A and B are shown apart, each in its own frame.
Chain A
């Protein structure tokens, strides 16, 4: 059997498009600090920074008026945010010490939890692994958390530019001087229509990249500055649905095993956001060796299992969405020393940023990442061996097995040819990819220019890998060639991990998640 390697068909990053050596245009906007991407990280950063500035002003410091801005590609904040999510309130408490837990935009507190190993017909309850214990945490919607953070940021005077994706980094020599937004109102051929708005340059003394999973400008920056990491980042694809159920759910549920093949890494979750509003999803590593791996279809099958069916039957699908998750952990972080070296070459503020390094190392972020540094990597050899290794790692606080498990990038992991999978959705409990995209709120203009860049010579088996991989039905094999339906895309970025490159579209394109 011949095996295919997705990386062999993946175009290089279009670096010349993403790193632009040009002076800012005459209409440029001048800021002091620019955050690219309006997710929880950027917004928390903007809030904390705005407070420090405020404090400085109150104490008569010399900072003066500092303009902070956030560029976000979704039409409004949170539209493109998706997560499980069970939230540790710790970060919110640290950021808002003056508030109580009940002030935060969380759903139900975690009342109980259960972990199951599934087979097609049944399930075995497992003891909850320590890394999956969630007592004292809350079920929450990332969309709602981000919108709440946005309000706080706005009250502090932060400029929130929702509907404005950053399409390129503006650079002067080796130094980043801001970002350029994507133009809007172009037709399929790239010609301006009556609603055309040209790209706008935004300059800043500091540009912070917080694009989220598989950030395009982050990739471009790291490649341009030749900043390595010990392991390449690896990704999982999560597909999530929100259901209104007839039967209340009173605990958080995690499952492993069926319907995933043994050589795939992943699992499912079902959380009560409210007693009768249930979030459920399936997360699978994109390095799995089966070219027919289809996370959307696997999630549909999972819902037919009695454990899920008993809650969902008679209920209603409210929302659907998909997103990749970086899973490489500690060893996939870009080497921070190398970032400082890069900054130092162009920027005098590098010394100040060294403190950031020390603070991350001293925080719970680094502790969490370091303790679990080999956890995901252990599963590259399959589920059962991985489970044993992960158990030993937990017991030893990460000291087993010593050193670092090496991991290839997902696109470099070879695949077996696709086994033809057929699944017919019933339209009640299970849904096709097209129905699913509709439930993501995606109302992208049909005539936008293509934003996905494939190689010209994609053969059938590779096209079929894309068809299965993409949860939104963007790729099809039609009449002997790869057909791409760009408006379907929900920006999950799986395509950028394994297949055609993803680039940002006009602002407001893509999904409009409400409570994902």
Chain B
């Protein structure tokens, strides 16, 4: 079983984002970067599949700046076998540009399964995985919450509004991981030591110009502070008044 996992280096979810002076990008000073949380599910799933099969290879591929090597090392410390960094310094917004660059790396890799997180928490595109599937002419299951592999085919469950959708598809295929697919492991001490010796290939790539341009970034408006109107039944009239006249929900 040969599995590719495409991962991304993203700002930590708890980071307080500051917009840079150009108004179109984020100020990266003091920002902590992590492995995209949805990609952790994808890495974990790949490792479990390989462990269950008893043999195979898990390859992690990231597109990003040189610092993304650290993100790849995290996946290697979890247990992946080798890493590939498609090194590009420019921040790319257009998912089709990223998808094409990944496809060039994936096409002749002979992978049985290509895994993604269902979205990257920095841009929320949900797009690169399905685009890669399309370009590779492979079936795509997005937001999978359960996966079962059979002989040459597989079954996945997707949590849709109010129920579960069960899909069957032939392999090879592209799958994007939803929260709940598994519980990702922490890199163990042994894994951290082993990761240093695993191969990590850095391939500089030249990206095509994309069709999207960022015009402006803005922070959401600040929430107004809450206020306590009073306590007990005596406060009800004031609450109703506030709901009517200020919040305008009654």
Beyond A157-B196, A159-B196, A512-B14, whether A200 also contacts B183 by CB under 8 A is no
In this assembly, does B227 line the interface, its C-beta being within 8 Å of a C-beta of chain A? no
- Taking residues whose C-beta sits less than 8 angstroms from the other chain, chain A's interface range is 20 to 34
**Residues of chain B in range 180-236 having any CB-CB distance to chain A below 8 Å:** 183, 186, 188-190, 192-193, 196, 225
CB–CB B189/A164 < 8 A: yes
Q: How far is the CA of A417 from the CA of B53 in the complex (A)?
A: 68
Which of B190, B192, B196, B225 counts the most A-chain CB atoms under 10 A from its CB? B192
Q: How distant is the Cα of A202 from the Cα of B192 in the complex, in angstroms?
A: 13
Q: Is the CB of B183 within 8 A of A441?
A: no
B183 to chain A, nearest CB (A): 6
Q: A159-B196, A194-B183 are in contact. Are A515 and B189 (CB under 8 A)?
A: no
CB-CB under 8 A from B192, the residues of chain A are: 159-161
- Chain B nearest CB from A2 CB (Å) reads 39
Q: How far is the CB of B193 from the nearest CB of chain A, in Å?
A: 5
- Docked Cα-Cα span, A302 to B225, in Å, equals 26
Taking the complex as formed, is A29 at the interface, i.e. its CB lies under 8 A from any CB of chain B? yes
Chain B interface main SS type: loop
Assess whether A514 is in contact with B32, with CB atoms less than 8 Å apart: yes
Looking at B14, B32, B183, which has the most chain A CB atoms within 10 Å of its CB?
B32
CB-based contact B189/A76 at 8 Å: no
The answer to whether B193 and A163 touch across the interface, beta carbons within 8 angstroms, is: no
Note all chain A residues with C-beta closer than 8 A to B14.
441, 443, 512
Contact residue range for chain B? 10 to 19
A443 to B15, CA, bound (A): 12
Contact of B188 among A197, A514, A515 (CB under 8 A): A197
Q: Are A163 and B186 in contact (CB under 8 A)?
A: yes
Which residues of B are found within 8 Å of A300, using beta-carbon distances? none
The answer to whether B30 and A515 have CB atoms under 8 Å apart is yes
CB of B189 within 8 A of CB of A161, answer: yes
**Shortest Cβ distance from residue B23 to the other chain A in the assembled complex, whole angstroms:** 18
> A324 near B: Cβ within 8 Å?
no
Closest to A181 in B: B189
| Known A195-B183, A515-B30: A200·B196 in contact at CB below 8 Å | no
Report B12 CB to chain A, min CB distance, Å. Answer: 9
Q: Is the CB of A430 closer than 8 A to any CB of chain B?
A: no
Q: Nearest CB to that of A197 among chain B residues?
A: B186
Chain A stretch 154-206: residues in CB contact (< 8 A) with chain B: 157, 159-161, 163-164, 181, 184, 194-195, 197, 200, 202
In the assembled complex, how far is the CB of residue B121 from the closest CB belonging to chain A, in whole angstroms? 16
Name the A residues within 8 Å of B193 (CB-CB): 29, 67, 69, 159
How far apart are B78's CB and chain A's nearest CB, in angstroms? 13
Per-position binary interface string of chain A over residues 410-448, scored 1 when its CB falls under 8 Å from any chain B CB and 0 otherwise:
000000000000000001000000000000010100000
- B32 near A29: Cβ-Cβ < 8 Å: no
Are B183 and A29 closer than 8 Å at their CB atoms? no
Q: Which residues of B contact A515 (CB under 8 A)?
A: 30
Task: Give Cα A197 to B190, complex, Å.
Answer: 13
Beta-carbon nearest neighbor of A79 in chain B? B32
Q: Mark B135-171, 1 if CB is under 8 A from A, else 0.
A: 0000000000000000000000000000000000000
Chain B positions within 8 Å of A512 at CB level: 14, 32
Judging by beta carbons under 8 Å apart, are A200 and B32 in contact?
no
- Which chain B residue has the least Cβ–Cβ distance from A71? B189
A226 to chain B, nearest CB (A): 32
Residue of A nearest to B29 (CB): A515
Taking CB atoms, residues of chain B closer than 8 Å to A69 are 193
Provide the B1-32 mask, 1 if CB < 8 A to any CB of A, else 0.
00000000000001010000000000000101
Asked whether, in the complex, the Cβ of A202 is within 8 Å of the Cβ of B186, the reply is no
Shortest A491–chain B CB gap in Å is 18
Q: State the Cβ distance, A436 to closest chain B Cβ, in Å.
A: 15
Please state if A76 and B32 are interface contacts (CB–CB under 8 Å). Answer: yes
Closest approach, in angstroms, between the C-beta of A196 and any C-beta of chain B? 10
Contact A29:B30 (CB < 8 A) given known A159-B196, A194-B183, A195-B183: no
**Other A-B pairs beyond A159-B192, A200-B188, A441-B14, 14, CB < 8 Å:** A29-B190, A29-B193, A67-B193, A76-B32, A157-B196, A160-B192, A161-B192, A163-B186, A195-B186, A197-B186, A512-B14, A512-B32, A514-B32, A515-B30
A-B contact pairs, 13 of them (CB 8 A): A29-B193, A67-B193, A159-B193, A159-B196, A181-B189, A194-B183, A195-B186, A197-B188, A443-B14, A512-B14, A514-B30, A514-B32, A515-B30
For the complex of A and B, the 5 pairs showing the least CB-CB separation, nearest first, are: A514-B30, A200-B189, A29-B189, A515-B30, A159-B193
